[in-house]
Amino acid sequence: MDKFRSHLLVCTGTGCVSNGAFDVKKALEMELQKHKLEQEIQVIGTGCNGFCERGPVMLVQPEGIFYQRLTVKDIPYLVEEHFLKGRPVKKLMYSPTLKEDKVPLMRDIGFFKDQILVALRNRGMIDPEVIEDYIAHDGYMALERVLTEMTPEQVITEIKNSQLRGRGGAGFPTGLKWEFCKRAQGSPKYIVCNGDEGDPGAFMDRSILEADPHCVLEGMTIGAFAIGAQEGILYVRDEYPLAIKRLRIAIKQAMEFGLLGNDILGSGFNFNVRVVRGGGAFVCGEETALMASIEGVEGRPRFRPPFPAQKGIWGKPTNINNVETWANVPAIMLRGAEWFASLGTKTSKGTKIFALVGAINNSGLVEVPMGISIERIVFDIGGGIPGDKKFKAVQIGGPSGGCIPAELKDTIIDYESLTRTGAIMGSGGLVVMDETTCMVDLARYFLEFTQSESCGKCTFCRIGTKRMLEILTRICQGDGRAEDIPLLEDLARKISESSLCGLGQTAPNPVLTTLKYFKSEYEAHIYNKKCPAHVCTKLLTFTINPAKCIGCTLCTKSCPTGAISGERKQAHVIDQVKCIQCGQCFYVCPVEAIVRE
């Protein structure tokens, strides 16, 4: 029987840590000691809880009470009220006004209701630096079953029957990939975990590695047994120091417990894992560029075939899956292929993790079943758009993905449905946009990212994306031309067809989808010299409505160029020659007298 009456699960993932989670955890421990409660109440630092926008967050178990946006100053009052007097503090909860007579629990929060956790099954529930916590939640049971009851062929068959597809973006069948590598000639064989997550706004892989590193190690070990590999490599970008730290702790612990290394669980199977830190190049998310980086040379894509399964790292057969894919493997092997295949759609099984960010009330990390609609993610889980603004679009798949407009919000999340819209699943970024987003500027932003991250090997990718970026920049600055739209479409087609790797092949997607669904915005920029969303500053004009201006002088004080003049308590005017369209006057005006057109 557990000696503690309560467990305080404090999220110590990067998002919460950046808002002071470690300090909150320390303050909790000190306050409990002060009241001599440390023998009754245990504080546990967990990985990412998922509700990142509300961090630091804390779940009180077994009650299920969810506290959010905690600060060190909150802790003395919280401990006294909740844990001494038995009065949960509603003002520190996410939904303090749920009902007068009811304490809102985590299960009452819409953000968590429609999620189904497979890869994230242990999120916010275990200490990622304590292997015993993972084992207590059925950790390494799948590996034990595999090593004591199954052959490599049976493992591959089980993964094939589950219909698990790679979660890194392309969606290739995982079991088939393993089978190719197993059949390949050559030794040694390598297992690689691709943790080079580089999409702007994406943090799925980082959160898994920080919250549950052992599930990735267990998945890799099962994969290694299946294909006959004895060495594994975790390739993680260097910007993830907490993930790297916890991975190294997990590897050390697994070695000590006989779950990695030689003769694992007395089975005679040997498997060792090491961490390789990536330099942060987006192109190294591509398999062949990643392999080059591991080998110590410049991370540039290679021609395929031969594919990594036949000729990978140092010319040897190599199987590469991303973090989320590996995290699914132990659950499949423990609960069975039929169970996993029962989730999702006919062609896209299981669940998918998304980093839900942008113009959304509830941003964070969500794991949803394949087949859920965009609308349910945005409004039921995400809580809708802040400030009663209109939902305009979502960008799915990061810089390589595409933009899906609000009128297609009933589109379901699976590989085929997203491809039909012009987007892709990608690794799992989902950026929500409202009416204040300029779609031309959005396309320019993503293309600027991919253009800067191009390795430069392919002429069309290196120069073509640069020309597209120049055109988009010119349009946003009010210098667009009638021929720009067909020119963008022509360049996009040639870049997609002629680039060697996925970066160049998909770089035009944000441009093509915004042209497809928001062509009128391009035309407004080019022909009317106006930005409908009022984002592109070169196309804006600011004037003052004299009927509304009260002469408070706030606009005068905020203007960096002295373009605004007028007497106090008299209507002011803006000198259009001096105005640089920065918009400061618009944002500081207390009576909405500034007209932005």
Q: Residue 2: its pLDDT value, please? A: 63
Q: Does domain 439-528 have CATH number 3.30.9.30?
A: no
Cβ atoms 201, 355 nearer than 8 A? yes
pLDDT at residue 588 above 70? yes
Residue written as tokens 């965009």?
Answer: 374
Q: Residue 381 carries which DSSP code? A: I
Q: Assign domain 6-109 to a CATH class.
A: alpha beta
Separation of alpha carbons 571 and 573, rounded Å: 7
pLDDT band with cut points at 50, 70 and 90 for residue 500:
confident
Q: State the Cα–Cα distance between residues 328 and 158, nearest whole angstrom.
A: 13
Neighbours of 395 (CB within 10 A): 32
Give the whole-number percent of the chain exceeding pLDDT 90: 81
Instruction: Let me know: does 220 contact 261? Beta carbons within 8 Å.
Output: no
Mean pLDDT of all residues in 111-116: 89
Average pLDDT, integer, range 445-459: 89
Which pLDDT band, with edges at 50, 70 and 90, does 1 fall under? very low
Give the best-scoring range by mean pLDDT among 3-7, 197-201, 347-351.
Answer: 347-351
Spatial strand order in the sheet of 41-46: 41-46, 6-11, 58-61, 65-67
Q: DSSP E strands: which ranges in 296-406?
A: 318-322, 351-358, 364-369, 391-396, 402-405
Q: Residue 385: which residues within 8 A CB-CB, separation 6 or more?
A: 359, 360, 361, 378, 391, 432, 434
**Domain at 540-596: CATH architecture:** 2-Layer Sandwich (3.30)
* Nearest residue to 480 (alpha-carbon basis) of 423, 527, 416, 422: 527
- Domain definitions of the chain by residue range: 6-109, 131-341, 351-434, 439-528, 540-596
Tell me the one-letter amino acid at 371: G
CA 91, CA 70: separation in Å to the nearest integer? 11
Quickly state the pLDDT bin for 247 (edges 50, 70, 90): very high
Whose CA is closest to 312, among 339, 330, 290? 290
Distance of CA 118 to the CA centre of its chain: 16
pLDDT category at 456 given cuts 50, 70, 90 is confident
Q: What are the DSSP calls for 419-473, one per residue? A: HHHT----SSEEEEEETT--HHHHHHHHHHHHHHH--S-SHIIIIIHHHHHHHHH
Res. 95: pLDDT tops 80: no
Residue 231 pLDDT more than 50?
Answer: yes
DSSP per-residue codes, 114-166: T---STTTTTTTS-TT-HHHHHHTTTTHHHHHHHHH--HHHHHHHHHHHT-B-
Q: What is the DSSP string of 220-278?
A: HHHHHHHHT--EEEEEEETT-HHHHHHHHHHHHHHHHTTSSBSSGGGSS--BEEEEEEE
The matching CATH number, chosen from 3.75.10.20, 3.10.20.600, 3.40.50.620, 3.60.15.10, for 351-434 is 3.10.20.600
* Percent of all residues in the chain with a pLDDT value above 70, rounded to a whole number: 99
Q: What is the pLDDT of residues 525-575, one digit of tens each?
A: 999 999 999 999 889 999 999 999 999 999 999 999 999 999 999 999 999
Domains 6-109 and 540-596 share a fold: no
Has residue 133 got a pLDDT over 60? yes
The answer to whether residue 72 scores a pLDDT higher than 70 is yes
pLDDT for 58 beyond 90: yes
Of 271 and 283, more confident: 271
Listed range (80-94, 194-208, 464-478) with the worst mean pLDDT: 194-208
Task: Quote the pTM value.
Answer: 0.91
> Which overall architecture, per CATH, does domain 131-341 show?
3-Layer(aba) Sandwich (3.40)
pLDDT of residue 101: 62
Question: Would you state the structure tokens that stand for residue 37, as one six-digit string?
Answer: 């409660």
Mean local confidence (pLDDT), 253-271: 96
* Mean pLDDT over the full length of the chain: 93
**What is the mean predicted confidence (pLDDT) over 182-202?**
91
